[in-house]
Structure 1
Amino acid sequence: MKVNNSDQSLSLWTGVGAGAAEPRYLYYSVFTPDGAIPVKPVFDPANPYVGRITARSVPPPHIVKSLQRCLLNAERFSDPELLRTELYLSAESNGAASLSGSAVAIVHPTYGATPETPFALVHKERLTQAEMEEVQDIDLSATRENHPNYVYYRLYTLIGEDTSKTAFEPSDPSLGRTEWSFVSPPRQPSTLKYHIAGVEGKPIYRFAELYSDISAQRELGMFAFMPGHALGSLENPLVLVQPERRPGLLNRPAKFTRAGVSHMAGIGQCRGGQIIYTDGVRTNRSPNDTRTNYQCTLRKNDPERCSGYIDTDFLELLDE
């Protein structure tokens, strides 16, 4: 279901008027880039991926911020400025709900009214270690629905087939599958690849080339993920091909982890959290230099500019 979030309002009650019976609930699911995670206040042990809060628990004014903060509180996540998370009216929404202060309707609910139509609380980045310890029994290869809608895929390195952790046919080890409902919104090539990489335990697939089937000549575009497009069937699984990795090819993404701003040799100013590209090969810049460095560039497609060396202690390779 495609949703135009700019004109949508949210409804907090399932009845009309003050005489509606209590309690009324709002249902939601929680996602990280890896995929759906179990909620903390589980009301149905058979479905630990859908939570609920009472509609009356949302304080006025009834706007997106109020609802998002209530869901964060229910899950015991800290995000006071709402910078780490986004709220989607449904997992199929093509964009997050606006935080601009839009009014929230209180009758005739369209979203979040049933366990089958939950809101989606989405973390923009992976959880911290402390937050991960609060989440119980994460199993990204588990079945979420009684009749799951699977996305089938094949894994490849540059020299041939790779082995999938979710392979279900012994004679076809590169063929894996995951449940579509586990994929984090907005559902597009980048989020699907991130999810599959998490399921497989191989971060390199976050940066893989994604094809509609084994005969495709071009990577999938955004339009292919719009509602109504069938992708990843058992007969025509999607194909993920690992990117090329070799010395001298500065295309491996890495996060600069040093706080603040540093002036690194030959590369200019780098900010904490900035993405830099390297080949991942450790090197000493001189015989007298005991530190190891990565050769790096700030631009993946323009290695001639802003290139230099960064201490390996200051970089976190994102594909391993």
Structure 2
Amino acid sequence: MSTLPGRDHTSSSTPSLDGKGGTDPDAKVGKSTKRTGPSYVYYRLYTKLGALESNHPLYNNDRFIGRIPSKLFAPPHTVASIKRSLCKLEDLSEPDKALVFTPISSLAPKEDSTRLSLYAPFGPGLSEQDPIALVVESEKRSEEVSQSETLPECPDDTNIHYVYYRVYSSEGKGEIKAKTSFDENDISLGRINTLLIAPPHTAGSLKTCIAKVEGLVTPGHASYKDKELFQDMTSDTAMSDTDDISFQGDTYPGSEEGDPVALVNATTNTAVDQKAELTPDGPYSNFTKRARLTLTLGYETNKPTWLSINKDEIVHTDGVIVSVRSPTTNDFWPGYMVINSKGEKGFVQQCVVEFI
């Protein structure tokens, strides 16, 4: 396994005391380590394709980070036990196949026998800056992700680390518009938050995350092997899927707008691909009801929960009515969680859904 620029080869013999990689300036010998208030476990969920929304989100506008009281985790607090508890609380199956990474930047998962302290003042999973990363086999749930009306908004974070990228079509049409475009003068330039990329962080997991966000074919598809990810626009050879990437520093592939990574030979999912994803063994096996959308509406400011839609677009849903708040109006609207033809999942209002 080779290493790409940005991988930190150094390690410190001093353990992190503040959950952020630093030391606690107030720590003193003999000082009590007991918490004086409620204790919580913070975590992020992933499949191999990327981030997964939590059933117990911490913020309304960042539903990928969850928080659960430590008292809900039965002892002993081993990795195996914590996996079972998290999967049960998140309504996720096959906890024995799940992997735990602490910190998220770790290249290898923790052994099941490893013990994690859930009541210490500091440590893995005890702050939102140092959450546990749980990677599961499937995002399939028997119930939809809950929508709470009492969650706070995540404060603006100027320290977000992005990966900037461009996507090039396999049909020879050159660069194509990025679904995460943020500059109206350069719509082919996209970016993703590095926290959306599933660990372990490799060129392969970055490529897979971009493919998922862009609605392209993903691992297991016959055309996936043809997609190549280049470290920058001047690279002569593509990166290997096993190349390690660290997103902890300021310099890594795609860290600069002017020096993005490039995904080449991108292939879009076809109707046949979507049908395959909705089989009984697929991640959306309960999304079996077909529906036609009756309006074209854009919800750019309401992402990621609300889905931008097109008139006459065919979607799949489980048919369960949910009530979701609009971030722009603060009103709650009845509707459905759906999967569109690009594999994107999101909320649409009930009034625009026509079952077929």
CA offset at residue 42 of structure 1?
2.7
- Number of the residue aligned with 2:253: 231
In 1, Cα distance between the equivalents of 2:213 and 2:263? 13
Number of equivalent positions: 237
Alignment check: 8 A CA contact 2:167 2:266 kept: no
Matched position secondary structure for 2:88 = helix
CA offset at residue 93 of structure 1?
1.5
In 2, Cα distance between the equivalents of 1:177 and 1:168? 8
Query: Where in structure 1 are there 5+ consecutive unaligned residues?
Result: 138-142, 246-251, 260-271, 274-318
- Number of the residue aligned with 1:37: 52
- Number of the residue aligned with 2:324: none
CA offset at residue 2 of structure 1?
6.7
Alignment check: 8 A CA contact 1:38 1:136 kept: no
- Number of the residue aligned with 1:115: 128
Alignment check: 8 A CA contact 2:56 2:146 kept: no
* Residue 94 of structure 1 pairs with residue 107 of structure 2: yes
In 2, Cα distance between the equivalents of 1:3 and 1:98? 22
CA offset at residue 244 of structure 1?
9.1
Match of 2:200 among 177, 186, 189: 186
Query: Where in structure 2 are there 5+ consecutive unaligned residues?
Result: 1-6, 18-26, 148-153, 283-342, 344-356
In 1, Cα distance between the equivalents of 2:75 and 2:9? 25
* Residue 154 of structure 1 pairs with residue 166 of structure 2: yes
* Residue 214 of structure 1 pairs with residue 214 of structure 2: no
Match of 1:23 among 38, 42, 54: 38
Matched position secondary structure for 1:87 = strand
Deviations 1:117-143 (A, max 9, x none): 111111234x23x55x61368xxxxx9
TM-score of the pair, normalised by structure 1? 0.62
In 2, Cα distance between the equivalents of 1:224 and 1:119? 20
CA offset at residue 224 of structure 1?
5.3
Deviations 1:62-90 (A, max 9, x none): 2111111111122121225x12x211113
> Alpha carbons of 1:2 and 1:215: their partners in 2 closer, same or farther (altered >3 Å)?
closer
Instruction: Give % identity.
Output: 27
Higher strand share: 1
TM-score of the pair, normalised by structure 2? 0.56
Alignment check: 8 A CA contact 2:232 2:262 kept: yes
Q: State the AA in 2 paired with 1:73.
A: K
CA offset at residue 37 of structure 1?
2.4
Alignment check: 8 A CA contact 1:3 1:94 kept: no
> Alpha carbons of 1:123 and 1:47: their partners in 2 closer, same or farther (altered >3 Å)?
same
> Alpha carbons of 1:48 and 1:145: their partners in 2 closer, same or farther (altered >3 Å)?
farther
- Number of the residue aligned with 1:174: 188
CA offset at residue 45 of structure 1?
2.9
